[in-house]
Every structure is written in C-alpha cells, then in structure tokens.
Structure 1
C-alpha cells in the first residue's frame, strides 16, 4: 500500500483496522522514543501534531521551554508486524517542532534534511547504503542479557554451526513486510555475530530504515529468547560490529561519481567528495563512533580501519572504492559503527563531502594500495597516513574545533554532543575496572 498523503493514512487505518499508532522520533544519541496514541487521535496528529514534554528527552530543551510537538511523516506509515493481542499497531516517524510551528533545531532528522536541502540546491541527491553488524547473545536463567554468543560459527558459516539462520530469516521477512529491499544476510566473523544488508536509498529514508532495522532485530531476538546488541565491541579479542556506509551522489538521474574517462573511472566530484571526508573525518568520528566502547573496536588487527587513507578495493584503508562502476559507483567509509545516530552521521558525512566539492579538495596524497596494517609506524609516517582518534575524548576535541561540522549540526546539537561525549568519558575515566583489579590488586 502506497502512502503519500494524510488521506492515504486515514484510509489505511480504517481498511486495516488499526487500533493504535506509535509516533516515533530519536534523541541526539539515536535512541528511539515513541508516543502511542489510539487511532481516534490520528486526525489530530496529522492536522496539528501531538504535544510532548521535550525537557525529558536527553539533549532536547530545558524544563522552562519544554512544550514540543510531534508531526508525523505520512510516508513512514507502516504496520508493525509484531503486534499485540490488543489490536493492530502502526507506526509513523515524526519530525519535532516548536509550539510556534518552527522546526526544532535539535531534531536529528531536521539536521539531516537541512544538509540534504543544501545538496539538492547544488543539484545532488545523497544516497546511502549501510551494512549493519550485530551480535546475538544468550540470556541467563533470570532473563538478563549475557555476552555468551548464541552460536560459535564464523564468517559465512551455515547450519548446524550457524544456529541463527532461522532467526535471521525471521528478521528478513519482518523487514520485507515493512517494505525493505533486503540484499544479503549472513554470519559474520565473530562468534554470534551477523550482518543483514538492505538496498541503498536517499539518506533520510535510509536513516529511518536503520532505526527500524535495529528495532525489528531486537524484537525478533527477544521473541527467540535472545538479546541482540549493536554495541561496537562486546567481546574482548573478537571482531567488533561496524556499520560500513556506501555513499554516492546522483545528479539528473545519473551517478555523479562515475566518469568512464576519469582516473579509476571516477569523476572529479567523487575525488573531491573523498577529499572532504578525509579532511573532516576526525571530527565526524565523534558522531559516527559515539561511545567509549566504540574505540575498543577502532584498533589495528580486527579488520576495523583506523588509518586515514583511501584506496581501490583495499580493505585496510578507511575509505575504499568498491569495484562496481556506472550506476553502482560509490565510496565506502568503513569506520562508523551501529551505535551511532544515523541522521547525524549521514548529515556530517554529506556536509564534509559537499565541502570537498565546493573547495575542490584533492585527496591524492592519501591514496594507497598497500596493506596499511603491514606498514611500520615509520612507513605510515613517510606516507603521511595518520590514525583516527583513539578515544571518545580525542574525537570530541576534534569535533569541537571543526567549524564546518558545527555549522552543519547547529549550535544546539553540536554543544549537546560535546557535553554528552565529555560526560561519558569522565564517567568511564573514574571507574575502577576489572582489568585494573586483576593487574594491580596483588602486585602493588
């Protein structure tokens, strides 16, 4: 059923006998929030929106200016396959507004739409294809989550070693019911680790889909007595979970990164977009890798790229260009992880790429086809290859200094992201961890 208007929503709720509507949005950390309304309130929601207390949402507003309004995007209307016995439930993803009708500048969805509008004014549509990895863990006898993997399969393994084949199929079927175009599903490298890929789309639709994907995956895991986590590095010594993102621009219906006569069959637009990403990636990392735990994944030796360079098919580079060309020409950034807020991450990536295009930033000096993991520190220095920030604090310091990202995010979000990152780091810094107890308690 195609939904494009308010009338389409009203017709769908009646024909499908919908009883409740979940109005969803995200906080600055990417956490999904929702307000459930009975279907009797759907006309009000569509006409004027539904009010809520914004002061109770992390990073939104202060208590003295708490009134905010959710306005649903009718195109996001979908029936949730995981319905309760109380009646059919639909959901709509919402934009957040102030009571005077102006968009809330701290709404992550608004920030992405703002940067996409800038790209549109330059003639571009920004497309994103994410690859989300996640772990399935057992629960203990009390129903609490553990870090015991559900299976002990490895990359591309299948049953009986891969115990999650049917669970992944349930996730895929549920996502398909929600109009996802699933491209692949498989076991990943680590014990209990999996990946499901869906087709690329414009950045806003894709960000909405990332949020929905995580919700569905957790829900299906719960039904099967398991816990699904998108934590970047839950197990020491095993590969962490990433969210590689495939990026491209289209213009007049054509892939703007493809040039059959260009070097590597890439256009100048593609080279400059890469240049912008490399210039701003240190600050972007605070957004695309927002947890203290994110930096336990971003270390050499576990397939996570940490070296600021780009290449063709070389997977040791931060950015690589997959071999497909023509309509499939794209740039793959390999550092983001699935704990990020997809709206803010895509907005930051697009802003950086557009900066590269506007200022014709040349990334040629950072091109390599060598396996960077095998280079010595001196070898990397000779080639001018630096590393990504090693901690959330270091990344947030780069974000604080990046004026382009400050302008793209807006003061409100930029300041709140920094506040959260530094508070998270301080809380981590003062903890006494098990590693310290084991190492020092009897040694000093």
Structure 2
C-alpha cells in the first residue's frame, strides 16, 4: 500500500531540492496532476515555497474529480471538502523550455494524511505494487503523438516535413536532453503537421510521468516556434488522429517474459496470461484509454487505430500488437486503441489491473488474428457510451480502482456524453482540439 513520507522528511528533501534548482535559475515550481477528463491541472509555488508545499501539500478541492474537458462539472461534483496535493520530488524536473520553472507530478492525499481514493496516480502505483508482490515488474512507455498548426505540411513520414520543421525538432530534442529524458525515436507521422516521439521505457508510474512531461515540453517548444500543438484524438474530420499507444513488457528476475517461453511467439505462460487479461478487459479499458467522445472519431477501421478486440504479431490494425523485437529485451506488447486524451495514470493502472486478473485466472490468448481484422474480429466499442457501459460492468476494474475512483470516472464520462450529444463530428473536434 502506498504511504506518504513523514512531513519532516519531505520538507528536508524539498529544502535541498529548492536550493539546487534555485541555483539553476528556477523561480517557480509547477505541481501537476491529470483529471478524469484527461486534462492536466496545475498549482504553482515560488521556489522557496517548495519546502512548505512538500511538508503540508497544496489545497486542491475534490471537485476536480468531476471536471469535464470544457471546465464544467459533472452533476455529482460538489463544493465541499479539500485535499492536499503533494509534489513527488523524485520526479522533479527543471523545464528547459520554460526558463525559471520546474515541474513535479503531484499525489493527492486527504487532510488526515491518507491516500485520496480518487487519486489516479496512486491507483497506478497500487497496481504496480500488486505486481511486485508477485515478483513481477513492468517496463512501460507511452508514445507521444501531436499535430502542429502552421509551417510545412509535407508527405506522411516525409523528409520534406522534417526539413520544414528541422529547427523546431532540433530545439525539441535539445530541450528533452537537457531535461534528462532519453528519446528513442522522433519522426513525422501520417497526418499533416503530425509528429511522434518514443521515449525510453520505465516503471509504469514513471512512464506516465514522462508522457506528461514530454507533452508539456512539446507545447512549450511549439509556442517558441510560433506553432500550436494539439494532442486531441482527432483534429480534422475523417483524419488520422493522435494515438497514445502504450507499450509494456512483463519481467521477472531480470528476464523479459515476452521471450523464450512456450506460448505464442515465445511468450511465457505468465506473459500470455497477463496479455489475455488485458484483451479480456479491453472494452472497459477504452473508458480509461480512449476517454473522449472524440476518441471514437479516431477509433475506426483502416486507420491503424486498433478498433478490433484481437491480437496479432506486428498487426497494426489489431488493438493488441505483439512485438518480438530483434533482441530478447525488446519483446513487448503495444495497446493501439488508446489515445492522447487519456489520463495516463488511469490507462496504465487499468491495464496492469487487467493483466493481474489474467494472471490470477491463468488465462490464455484466443486465436491470433494474422491479417486485417475488419469483418473477422469483434469490434471494440464504437462510442464512449458503450465503453462506459463496459466499465460499469467490469468487476475487475471496479475492484482495482475502488468505488470512489470508478464512480467519478463514470460520472465524468456520462456528463461528457451529454455535453456533446447534440454536436456533430466537426463541432466535437473543434471543442476539444486544444484541451489536451
């Protein structure tokens, strides 16, 4: 069970951190979290206020659990109560693209010092710890895709687009390196003005932290170059939108369990059971990993978005893509149906919980889908309402999330369905384009 460090210990760590980053020119510290709609919210303190923030936390109303993407509130959200937002100093980074600022993700605690049952980051941590109790670890990474307005469009994956944005992308690489983030790959993607970054994997909570930090950095660097970045699931009708593909591999005693086993394509029985658990819960997981009404404008056949509940080796149209890699340590699975509107802590925590259930039940994967799944495999939910219904029926995710978090997510999903009920695709796209 996650526990918060004693206040005196947190304060001492913050005092040292504040001294260090102030010497590096930092004046203010951003403490951020992601709400159930997928929007990043923040509070800030002067650098010399970091010690007090770490000791006591920052006030953050529980009504944030009911915020919708347009800043309105779900009907269940009320004005009463308060929580404490505590910065995680282990993840503190100076922001190279925002001179004078540093950033840390925050955990939310009650006034009495207990974990807030609606804290999405602590949900992801609990799921990680539950795996550790089995002697298992997960290495995870979340691809970051975005589209910028302005500048050179150019062909998909084309050199022309790279040339047209070479100063911008070079600045981005330098900035990420200054922030001590390891970029594995950066390239132009399919849509006009679209790019994708892959980062080195880490533990599940670290992967979610990294995804958020990278997105903040992309936004800041884009603005410096007169560009505006969007992470929305879709930015144009009938367009190929922004995925938030989750890669993960299961490990025991330093060995990648996705390699060298007797299961399909070398999976060990544990890795197969884990992935079978994920596949079993995918309809409900969409309410966490594809959380916007706009998500389902992206999740259509023929766009490599993973709209079918199936798996396949290197099958980019399947929701669960198995990747063997060229070396044992590279073997992993990719969940392709998630997008960039997701709260990454909810998405990661939900996937780990589903995988744990698969391990507990010793599940096996169904038959592989080796080709185009359209017309062959089951379609995943085609709308947010169907995904929310699946989450409502999922005993696995309800038990893992706990009723307060599970219910608050459903409340936000239902309220956003109502919010956009009378809008057409183009209006939905315009409404969410710059919210993520």
Q: TM-score range by the shorter chain?
A: 0.7 to 0.9
Note if contact 1:136-1:229 (Cα within 8 Å) is conserved in structure 2: yes
Q: Deviations over 1:29-74 (max 9, x none)?
A: 2322222212232221232323344435635963221x21121111
Tell me whether 72-81 or 17-26 shows the greater mean CA deviation. Answer: 17-26
Q: Which of structures 1 and 2 has the bigger CA Rg?
A: 1
Q: 1:434 to 1:211 in 2, by over 3 A?
A: closer
**Which of 109, 123, 128 matches 1:97?**
109
Aligned residue for 1:431?
A: 423
Alignment of 1:38-437 (within 5 A): 38-55=46-63, 58=66, 62-65=78-81, 67-84=82-99, 88-138=100-150, 150-159=151-160, 162-259=163-260, 262-324=263-325, 325-365=327-367, 367-373=368-374, 377=375, 380=376, 385-431=377-423
Q: CA deviation at 1:433?
A: 6.9
In structure 1, list runs of 5 or more residues that go unmatched.
139-149, 436-444
Note if contact 2:258-2:324 (Cα within 8 Å) is conserved in structure 1: no
TM-score (norm 2): 0.88
**Which of 8, 11, 20 matches 1:12?**
20
Note if contact 1:72-1:94 (Cα within 8 Å) is conserved in structure 2: yes
- Tell me how far apart the structure 2 counterparts of residues 72 and 428 of structure 1 sit (CA, whole Å): 34
Note if contact 2:15-2:50 (Cα within 8 Å) is conserved in structure 1: no
In structure 2, list runs of 5 or more residues that go unmatched.
1-11, 68-75, 428-436
Q: CA deviation at 1:91?
A: 2.0
Note if contact 2:320-2:334 (Cα within 8 Å) is conserved in structure 1: yes
What SS does structure 2 have at the residue aligned with 1:159?
helix
Q: 1:111 to 1:168 in 2, by over 3 A?
A: same
Q: 1:103 to 1:434 in 2, by over 3 A?
A: closer
What SS does structure 1 have at the residue aligned with 2:281?
helix
Tell me whether 55-64 or 205-214 shows the greater mean CA deviation. Answer: 55-64
Note if contact 1:5-1:74 (Cα within 8 Å) is conserved in structure 2: yes
Note if contact 1:24-1:93 (Cα within 8 Å) is conserved in structure 2: yes
- Tell me how far apart the structure 2 counterparts of residues 264 and 76 of structure 1 sit (CA, whole Å): 36
- Tell me how far apart the structure 1 counterparts of residues 210 and 245 of structure 2 sit (CA, whole Å): 15
Note if contact 1:108-1:344 (Cα within 8 Å) is conserved in structure 2: yes
- Tell me how far apart the structure 1 counterparts of residues 218 and 55 of structure 2 sit (CA, whole Å): 32
Instruction: Output the aligned Cα RMSD.
Output: 2.2
- Tell me how far apart the structure 2 counterparts of residues 264 and 187 of structure 1 sit (CA, whole Å): 30
Tell me whether 323-332 or 265-274 shows the greater mean CA deviation. Answer: 323-332
Aligned residue for 1:441?
A: none
Note if contact 1:23-1:34 (Cα within 8 Å) is conserved in structure 2: yes
- Tell me how far apart the structure 1 counterparts of residues 350 and 65 of structure 2 sit (CA, whole Å): 22
- Tell me how far apart the structure 2 counterparts of residues 152 and 162 of structure 1 sit (CA, whole Å): 10
- Tell me how far apart the structure 2 counterparts of residues 58 and 368 of structure 1 sit (CA, whole Å): 39
Are positions 1:22 and 2:24 aligned together? no
Equivalent residue pairs, number: 407
